[in-house]
């Protein structure tokens, strides 16, 4: 593994610890990680490194911003994936995001099964979706947002990051 993966790993570990404790990822972490990633790649590879880092930053930021707009993740996660992109580039960032979303789905299912609310939540979700399709109104979906199952996304990002590191190394 090269220096960019290690620098990125440090950021992910700190984000994990703070997100578990407070359900927030601090701006001081994400807003320093982005320029640091840009700087490291520029120093190591010049203009080509800067472009590599900028593309990764943009990809991570924009993709997770779309998730934030629909209410799936918080703003700290958006900036975190911008930082991951700045450190690790586009391909690594997109793979990490895909694995993280898959892990989040698995965690969500496990939590629902653990809490034994699965059927009740599925029935409510089906009602909200039916209301959306029948009424063609987003109000039915916004009512569903109020009682969403929430957990720190970093619980899914860490295994997603590890899986991506394993596949990147092979």
The predicted structure's pLDDT at residue 119: 65
Residue 136's domain spans which residues? 3-169
Task: Give the Cα separation of 138 and 141 in Å (integer).
Answer: 5
Residue 86, CA atoms < 13 Å, CB-side half-sphere? 22
The reported pTM is 0.80
pLDDT at 45: 94
DSSP one-letter string for 70-119:
TTSS-HHHHHHHHHHHHHH-HHHHHHHHHHHHHHHHHHHHHHHHHHT-HH
> In this predicted structure, what is the pLDDT of residue 150?
74
Residue of 105, 56, 124, 51 lying closest to 85 (CA atoms) = 56
CA distances for 149 relative to 22, 43, 48, 107, 123, angstroms: 17, 43, 42, 11, 14
Whether residue 49 contacts residue 55, with contact meaning beta carbons closer than 8 Å, is answered with: no
Q: How many domains does the chain have?
A: 1
What's the pLDDT at 147? 56
Model pLDDT, residue 148 = 60
Q: Identify the CA nearest to 12 among candidates 158, 120, 142, 160.
A: 158
Q: Can you give the pLDDT at residue 112?
A: 75
Query: pLDDT 10s per residue in the chain (170 long)?
Result: 588 888 899 999 999 999 999 989 999 999 999 999 999 999 999 999 999 999 999 999 999 999 999 888 999 999 999 999 999 999 999 999 999 999 999 998 888 777 766 667 667 777 766 666 666 655 544 544 445 667 889 999 999 999 999 998 77
pLDDT the model gives residue 132: 62
| Burial group, residue 79, by CB count within 10 angstroms (0-12, 13-18, 19+) | buried
Task: Report whether 169 contacts 5 (CB < 8 A).
Answer: no
């Amino acid at each position: 593994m090269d220096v960019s993966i290690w620098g990125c790993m440090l950021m992910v570990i700190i984000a994990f610890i703070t997100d578990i404790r407070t359900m927030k990822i601090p701006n001081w972490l994400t807003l320093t990680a982005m320029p640091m990633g840009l700087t490291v790649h520029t120093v190591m590879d010049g203009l080509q490194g800067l472009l590599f880092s900028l593309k990764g930053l943009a990809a991570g930021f924009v993709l997770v911003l779309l998730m934030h707009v629909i209410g799936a993740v918080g703003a700290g996660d958006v900036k975190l994936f911008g930082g991951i992109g700045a450190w690790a580039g586009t391909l690594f960032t997109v793979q990490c995001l895909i694995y993280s979303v898959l892990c989040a789905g698995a965690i969500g299912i496990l939590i629902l099964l653990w809490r034994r609310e699965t059927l009740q939540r599925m029935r409510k979700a089906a009602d909200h979706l039916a209301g959306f399709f029948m009424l063609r109104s987003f109000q039915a979906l916004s009512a569903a947002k109020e009682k969403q199952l929430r957990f720190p996304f970093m619980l899914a990002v860490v295994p997603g990051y590890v899986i991506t590191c394993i596949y990147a190394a092979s």
